[in-house]
Amino acid sequence: MSNEILLSIPAMKCMGCVAAIEEALARESTVTSATVNLEEKTATVATDAPLSVLVNVVKSAGFDASELSI
């Protein structure tokens, strides 16, 4: 069963940023789904992975991320 984690990604500025983050999250095998919202500068991720894994995945795409309360 997947958990839903909401990430804050404040440095996103364009649709290219969104695409890079979505692609990075899609490559992570534990991610069931990910929706990135440029306007809100967030990503909603369904996953069994711990938060630290998601933060590292987003960092690999060149962005800092932190968890927001849902």
For 50-60, write each residue's pLDDT tens digit.
999 999 999 99
The total of structural domains in the chain comes to: 1
Question: What CATH number is attached to the domain comprising 34?
Answer: 3.30.70.100
pLDDT of residue 38: 98
- pLDDT above 90: residue 69: no
Residue 7 is part of which domain span? Answer: 3-68
Task: Return all residues near 4 (Cβ < 8 A) that are at least 6 apart.
Answer: 44, 45, 46, 70
pLDDT of residue 7: 98
15 token code pair: 């649709």
Cα–Cα distance between 28 and 40 in angstroms, integer? 23
> What average pLDDT does the chain have?
95
> How many alpha carbons fall within 13 Å on the CB side of residue 43?
32
pLDDT of residue 54: 97
Q: Which amino acid is at 26?
A: A
pLDDT of residue 1: 63
